[in-house]
A = this chain, B = another copy of it.
Amino acid sequence: MALEEKYVIEAALLSSDEPLKVQDLMSLFEGISSAQVKILIDQLNAEYKNRCIEIVEVSSGYRISTKKEVNEILIPLWELKPQKLSRAMYETIALIAYRQPITRGEIEEIRGVSVSANIIKNLFEKEWIKVVGHKDTLGKPALLATTAKFLDSFNLKKISDLPPLEEIEEMFTSYDSETESESIETKDHSAHQVH
């Protein structure tokens, strides 16, 4: 039986534990270009239109995953129920993602509260963060950054695919202490909200 190239790609993606790069897929065939591999992937995705799976490109390559719509139906079958992450966890990983590399102390400074050891441990256990070096200050604190696995977990290809941060408005730095209410009025035009 002659095996169709796109179905070999499908089998390759399905048999791999990790996402596969275009180069990995190219190595399966002789004389195939990366553009051709991408066309085959598009063809497969078109075939998956009515199905509950799809091919997604993430940071470490291509992988097949279930579509969101089918998830709720499948949850009862999962041994591990999806766990809800705490707000503290989201804020911590968001800081590491947007401000990397960052130390734990810097995270605490911005959040205004201490970061529990459990949150950091948990993020390491998920392999969402890694130590990329040590800051040359007192105590040589570890500099934390996100991993490819973090991006993979959110179906992202690169850090810049994260939704952009909202801009921070500049504040007038001079003020008049005696006439606070006046100065508030004159500055009112700039006091619209940031959302």
Binding site for B on A (CB under 8 A): 1, 3-4, 7-8, 10-12, 14-18, 20, 24, 27-28, 50-53, 64, 66-67, 69-70, 73-74, 76-81, 86-88, 112-113, 117-118, 121-122, 124-125, 127, 130-134, 145, 147-149, 176-177, 180-181, 183-185
Contacts and interface: CB of A to CB of B under 8 A. Distances in A.
B3 A69 contact: yes
Given A87-B124, A177-B133, A73 B183 contact: no
Contacts of A66: 11, 14-15
How many copies make up the complex?
Answer: 2
B183 A28 contact: no
Given A4-B50, A69-B3, A18 B81 contact: yes
27 contacts: A3-B52, A4-B50, A4-B51, A7-B50, A7-B52, A7-B70, A8-B70, A8-B73, A8-B74, A10-B52, A10-B53, A11-B52, A11-B66, A11-B67, A11-B74, A14-B64, A16-B81, A24-B80, A28-B76, A86-B127, A88-B125, A88-B127, A112-B118, A130-B184, A130-B185, A134-B176, A147-B183
A27 B80 contact: yes
Contacts of A17: 79
Given A4-B50, A27-B80, A121-B112, A131 B10 contact: no
A185 B11 contact: no
Contacts of A183: 130-132, 147
